[in-house]
Structure 1
Amino acid sequence: MDGDSVELPQTESRHIVKALRLQAGDAIELLDGKGSVFSAIITIIGKTVKARIVEQVNSEDNDTIPLVVCQGHLKGKKMDLVIQKCTELGVNQFIPLWTSRCQGKISEHHGQKKLERYQRIVESACKQCYRPDLMEMEETIEFSELVQSFPDSPGLVKLMFWEEEGQVSLHDPVIPEDVKKAILLLGPEGGLSLEEAELARASGWQTVSLGKRILRAETATLTATSVVQFLVKNM
């Protein structure tokens, strides 16, 4: 790998030339999106920038508990915000979710263009917070399909955050010491229906409350993600 030459995409090249105003011979760091960081030297400045890899900077293993966030579609740019912040918080996989109370049509939130837009948000957030691995973005999935997509297995925790749950909260031992993977499910602005909660419970999900405070949908997601990351010792 050391000494290899790499050609950067046009968007990154443009940022290096126009915004950072770097020149041939300047040092940069490159993220491969899989967890590795490399130091490199710019060799060619042009429409695309070329660089020579000097060495790998990081070599530590990632021993965190994988965390998946399944989010009911939010209005406007709230979804963008949640995707950006989940990337910063170290979420491994993000699944946009279509529920009975989502507004609009699922076709408006489905497709390659929408997915590519979300992936650009992830990439930008990774660069800003120096995260070397990309959060994996998935296509929008229907609620009924999603809740059955993760069969029960040892060490798997499936939590559905539901405002009508009156007994179980994160103060309770819903996350065991031997947790191997955690999946969080959160609804859109209108929340999740009783029928959806029952369907999830029948598929092995634990409904959980975030307490008595009334939180906006995006705030609830970021709160749940932060607390669970702390509880599984990822933070």
Structure 2
Amino acid sequence: MKEVRYFYVPNAASAGELPEEEAKHAVRVLRLQSGDRMILADGEGGLFDAEVSMASGKHCMYNILEQLPCEREWNGRITLAIAPTKMMDRIEWMAEKATEIGFDELDFLD
């Protein structure tokens, strides 16, 4: 059995196809084939169990099997406050990494 793969697909419930960059990665790198399973996240709290229906080149079509429950594991709120520096690339990096970890709000201090 293959490892479960996660993909970000805006409007996953109605799209039916992975975005081009995600499709290239799924087909060329992960070598997903028809019948393989994956989990789709729509960026709005929706998680979907899906199955690849067609995979070729730049296209990867899927069928949603079921919508998965998506509950927050922690009910707290995390606010990240930072004083910006002149090195904006470092601020961008910090915001990117904090987003990957998960937080609710980013405030820049004056």
Task: Give unpaired runs (5+ residues) of structure 1.
Answer: 95-183, 187-195, 197-235
Query: Structure 2 CA distance, aligned partners of 1:78 and 1:37?
Result: 31
Query: Structure 2 CA distance, aligned partners of 1:8 and 1:37?
Result: 14
Query: Structure 2 CA distance, aligned partners of 1:15 and 1:185?
Result: 35
Query: Structure 1 CA distance, aligned partners of 2:87 and 2:70?
Result: 40
The Cα RMSD (Å) is: 2.8
2:10 aligned with 1:87: no
Q: CA deviation at 1:56?
A: 1.8
Change in CA separation of 1:70 and 1:40 when aligned onto 2, cut-off 3 Å: same
Change in CA separation of 1:65 and 1:19 when aligned onto 2, cut-off 3 Å: same
Change in CA separation of 1:93 and 1:26 when aligned onto 2, cut-off 3 Å: same
Question: SS state of the match for residue 43, structure 1?
Answer: strand
* Aligned-residue identity in percent: 29
Q: CA deviation at 1:90?
A: 1.6
In the other structure, the counterpart of 1:9 is: 19
The counterpart of 1:50, out of the listed 61, 80, 83, is 61
Q: Say which one has the larger Rg.
A: 1
Aligned partners of 1:5 and 1:50 also within 8 Å:
no
Task: Give unpaired runs (5+ residues) of structure 2.
Answer: 1-12
The counterpart of 1:29, out of the listed 36, 39, 57, is 39
Q: CA deviation at 1:61?
A: 5.0
Change in CA separation of 1:74 and 1:27 when aligned onto 2, cut-off 3 Å: farther
TM-score normalised according to structure 1 size: 0.35
Query: Structure 2 CA distance, aligned partners of 1:64 and 1:35?
Result: 17
Question: SS state of the match for residue 65, structure 2?
Answer: strand
By percentage of residues, which structure has more strand? 2
Query: Structure 1 CA distance, aligned partners of 2:15 and 2:108?
Result: 42
